[in-house]
């Protein structure tokens, strides 16, 4: 199954369905990363709180992003010890990363234009959010190819050959 998601449908598909469904692993890849809040029950909480809860449930979370997030994100980050202390959480910063995808348990993925920001994926009104489009897929072949690429990236295979290392604040290798 594959389906197109546009604008507000992206929020519903990714943050209300894919992320909560992750039981073993959750990979998040984005170019931009900001202080994102999501609806949980009747209130809105920092997305980092959702990730911390997933880690507490035993879900391995990998976060790959292209630039340093802003001060509000960093302040929220420090509030959740699971993000700092747990071996189940890893974060990689790569200035060349421009992909946007979310993968849960290797069985469902979002691939599209939305960054992990309020305007991209967050619960903003239709008049304040970005225009976004993406695909949600359960196609095992597509997800497998994407995970293979991200795993080799995560292990540093691309880092060794990168010709932009002088711009990288935190090389993998």
For 6-42, how does the pLDDT look when each residue is reduced to its tens digit (9 = 90+)? 998 999 999 999 999 999 999 999 999 888 889 888 8
Indicate whether this model's pTM tops 0.85.
yes
Question: Which token pair is 27?
Answer: 């990979």
Full set of structural domains in the chain with CATH: 2-167 (3.30.870.10)
| Structural contact between residues 61 and 51, judged by C-beta atoms closer than 8 angstroms | yes
| Structural contact between residues 83 and 89, judged by C-beta atoms closer than 8 angstroms | yes
Of 130, 148, 129, 132, nearest to 140 by C-alpha is 148
Q: What's the rounded Cα separation, in Å, for the pair 73 and 47?
A: 10
- What was the pLDDT predicted at 124? 73
For 88-123, how does the pLDDT look when each residue is reduced to its tens digit (9 = 90+)? 999 999 988 999 999 999 999 999 999 998 889 877
């Amino acid at each position: 199954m594959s389906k197109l998601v546009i604008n507000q449908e992206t929020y519903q598909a990714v943050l209300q369905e894919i992320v909560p469904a992750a039981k073993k692993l959750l990979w998040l890849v984005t170019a931009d990363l900001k202080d994102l809040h999501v609806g949980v029950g009747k209130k809105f909480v920092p997305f980092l709180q959702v990730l911390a809860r997933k880690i507490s449930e035993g879900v391995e979370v990998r976060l790959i992003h292209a630039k340093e997030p802003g001060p509000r994100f960093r302040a929220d980050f420090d509030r959740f010890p699971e993000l700092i202390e747990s071996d189940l959480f890893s974060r990689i910063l790569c200035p060349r990363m421009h992909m946007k995808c979310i993968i849960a348990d290797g069985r469902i993925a979002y691939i599209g234009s939305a960054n992990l920001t309020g305007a991209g994926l967050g619960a903003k009104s239709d008049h304040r959010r970005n225009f976004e489009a993406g695909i949600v897929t359960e196609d095992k072949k597509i997800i497998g190819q994407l995970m293979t690429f991200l795993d080799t990236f995560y292990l540093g295979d691309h880092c060794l050959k990168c010709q932009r290392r002088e711009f990288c604040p935190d090389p993998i290798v």
